[in-house]
């Protein structure tokens, strides 16, 4: 599809880039580059049907190639489609297992799920999205990838300021922007672009930057990124931010082939901006991005958690233990949290989060029903096969029927008799099954059926 660039856009970038602008415009007319990531939170995570022969240099789990959203690799959370330029943001952030990390503008979840995959289910990741509809998509992607250490919130950055001042070791702001770097991936987005829209985005980003500063602990790391070429949203905003907060400093970001320095001449001639990086599609095998890494001076303030009541009653524990004894080899009772009739293994029980709009706090284990406990799809997507008493491998026909909502009829009595079993296809767990009388009854969520 031809990308219809406006005359204002062309004039702006000819003024900024001279003769090179025509190369950029030509690159925007080319096909976008597809890529995907593996998910090291999964058992035997390299066991996928996609080729791993084209690795991405700067991502140990990233590969060039296109994936099918209906494949078992995708449905079971073994792969995540992500544009290759965007993968580098998480590598710059460098998540560690015991960090407290905030992804402030997280939907649809590509960067959040990458961050979580590097944290090995340790520490705390708070993934926020201000748009309610997009926050639900974010939550579902986190569930599919089997992530357990994440709180998903639907709040404004200002809401966080009131609750969580200087709480986080690391913050990512992948800022909502004018999207110029994604024009060839999403040609329809060109119609929203204007010079005024760029200014609106830049102003909104400054409010987000202010909030991020207040939420970052001393000694903390702050990564800012956009998928736009616009200097107003990139160098100029970072120059403004560094001037306003002199205890923040840019850190040199390693650049791979095709990556370029930030442009001081586009940001008040601040020479520090060369430490940032840019990706232009005429030079780099990916879409357009700007990224920079900053650190905050000072010694980190100690963060002491104030725990809330988990709401668990004695009978609740009995029901879950009864379920586990029949169907699981192991059961962790750490950080259990009951919300209404649902049981979570919470990512945090810190009372600071009380009052925020939380869509998901850690791993949703299941639901208490009349005198019993039933497991949730999120649990099977996070569990390892060796934690289950029974894993039943479906053949292709059975798998396709199960995805449609049909039960699996067994021709002979199986060698298990527990009620809840893990269902797998191509050695990948993707759903619970409820066994009874030589049938595996379908409990796959209706919203996921094909």
d(CA 58, CA 56): 6
Is position 110 annotated in a ligand binding site? yes
Q: For residue 93, give Cα distances in angstroms to 208, 221, 222.
A: 18, 7, 8
d(CA 386, CA 377): 17
Is position 43 annotated in a ligand binding site? no
Is position 108 annotated in a ligand binding site? yes
Burial of 258 (0-12, 13-18, 19+ CB in 10 A): middle
* DSSP label at residue 23: H
Category of 74 on φ-ψ map: left (φ > 0), alpha (ψ -120 to 50) or beta: alpha
Is position 324 annotated in a ligand binding site? no
Taking Cα atoms as reference points, which of 248, 159, 169 lies closest to residue 216? 169
Residue 154 and residue 129 in contact, taking contact as beta carbons nearer than 8 Å: yes
Is position 106 annotated in a ligand binding site? yes
Is position 34 annotated in a ligand binding site? no
Is position 6 annotated in a ligand binding site? no
Beta bridge partner(s), residue 372: 369
Catalytic residue numbers read 227
Burial of 44 (0-12, 13-18, 19+ CB in 10 A): exposed
Is position 395 annotated in a ligand binding site? no
Is position 107 annotated in a ligand binding site? yes
Q: Which ranges of 217-313 does DSSP label H, i.e. alpha helix?
A: 235-244
Strands (E), 236-341: 248-251, 260-261, 277-279, 289-296, 336-339
| Residue 311 host element (H or E) | none
Sign of CA dihedral 428, 434, 435, 441: negative
The annotation places the binding site for S-adenosyl-L-methionine at: 105-111, 129, 174
């Amino acid at each position: 599809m031809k990308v219809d660039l406006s005359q204002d856009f062309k004039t702006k970038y000819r003024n900024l880039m001279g003769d090179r602008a025509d190369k950029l415009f030509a690159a925007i007319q080319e096909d976008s580059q597809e890529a995907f990531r593996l998910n090291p939170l999964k058992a035997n995570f390299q066991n996928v049907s996609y080729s791993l022969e084209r690795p991405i240099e700067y991502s140990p789990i990233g590969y060039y190639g296109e994936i099918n959203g209906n494949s078992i690799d995708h449905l079971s959370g073994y792969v995540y489609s992500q544009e290759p330029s965007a993968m580098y943001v998480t590598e710059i952030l460098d998540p560690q297992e015991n960090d407290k990390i905030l992804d402030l503008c997280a939907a649809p979840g590509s960067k959040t799920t990458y961050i979580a995959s590097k944290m090995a289910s340790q520490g705390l990741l708070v993934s926020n999205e201000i748009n309610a509809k997009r926050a639900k998509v974010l939550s579902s992607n986190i569930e599919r990838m089997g992530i357990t250490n994440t709180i998903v919130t639907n709040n404004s950055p200002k809401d966080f300021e009131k609750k969580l001042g200087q709480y986080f070791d690391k913050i990512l702001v992948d800022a909502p922007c004018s999207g110029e770097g994604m024009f060839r991936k999403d040609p329809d987005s060109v119609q929203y672009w204007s010079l005024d829209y760029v200014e609106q985005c830049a102003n909104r980003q400054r409010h987000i930057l202010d909030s991020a500063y207040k939420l970052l602990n001393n000694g903390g790391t702050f990564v800012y990124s956009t998928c736009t070429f616009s200097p107003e949203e990139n160098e100029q905003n970072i120059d403004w931010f560094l001037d306003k907060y002199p205890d923040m400093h840019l850190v040199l970001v390693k650049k791979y082939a095709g990556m370029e320095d930030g442009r001081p001449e586009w940001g008040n001639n601040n020479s520090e901006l060369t430490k940032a990086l840019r990706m232009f599609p005429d030079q780099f095998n990916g879409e357009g991005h700007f990224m920079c890494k900053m650190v905050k001076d000072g010694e980190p303030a100690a963060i002491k958690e104030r725990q809330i009541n988990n709401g668990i009653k004695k009978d609740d524990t009995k029901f879950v233990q009864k379920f586990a004894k029949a169907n699981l080899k192991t059961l962790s009772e750490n950080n259990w949290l009951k919300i209404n009739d649902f049981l979570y293994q919470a990512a945090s029980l810190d009372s600071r989060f009380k009052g925020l709009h939380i869509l998901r706090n850690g791993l949703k284990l299941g639901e208490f029903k009349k005198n019993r406990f039933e497991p949730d799809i999120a649990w099977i997507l996070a569990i390892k096969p060796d934690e289950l008493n029974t894993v039943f491998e479906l053949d292709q026909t059975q798998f396709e029927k199960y995805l449609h909502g049909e039960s699996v009829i067994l021709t002979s009595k199986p060698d298990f008799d527990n009620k809840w079993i893990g269902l797998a296809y191509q050695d990948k767990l993707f759903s619970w099954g409820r066994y009874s009388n030589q049938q595996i009854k379908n409990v796959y969520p209706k919203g996921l059926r094909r």
